[in-house]
Amino acid sequence: MNNSIKILRPPIHGDDRGFFSETYNKRTLLEAGVDIDFVQDNHAFSAEKGTVRGLHFQTPPYAQDKLVRVVRGAILDVAVDLRVGSPTFGRHVSAVISAKDWNQILVPVGFAHGLVTLEPDTEVLYKVSNYYSPEHDKGLLWNDPALGIDWGIDPASAILSEKDRRHPTLAELPEYFRYDEKDDR
């Protein structure tokens, strides 16, 4: 399986009544090179613009792939490569994911995931490939200067949980994931 970030855009069919869209179709994902069995759906609501969630990940054997979409509002979605030995270790990918653009982002195992809301009353839905495990729930400090992430907000005004304020930096993070070249084929 290709272990890379992917931006997906499900077709949307609209008329004067509204629209219809298949937001998840296993066959379509297989055609795009994505072969993941999702086991859980999560729904997050953020009332305020500037709400930061992340950077989160779960460690093996409960590591998770995530397929993220926005049904109301917009987010800047960020994924950081935590796979030691990867040519992109410690680097990030970011993309605006919004209800207006009807796009999705696939964040594979081995990446920390986070977001900041760009609009108030934003709702995010995401599928995960493994069940939540509190013992394997970890994080990376969202504003670690070594990551060079431009979140587009003043860090002093970011709305965060206490847990997300205390995550370790990349330099302090244990080696949870190892890069394997065959994953990128």
The single residue of 13, 24, 43, 56 carrying the catalytic annotation is: 56
Active site residue 132: no
Our answer to whether residue 136 is catalytic in this structure is: no
Extract the tokens encoding 168: 């370790």
Question: How far lies 141's CA from each of 56, 127, 132, 149, 162, in Å?
Answer: 9, 23, 20, 11, 11
**What is the DSSP track for 103-155?**
-EEEE-TTEEEEEEESSSSEEEEEEESS---GGGEEE--TT-GGG----SS-G
The active-site residue, picked from 13, 92, 113, 126, is 126
CA atoms within 13 A on the CB side of 46: 24
Look-up: residue for tokens 């072969």? 35
**Residues carrying an active site annotation:** 56, 126
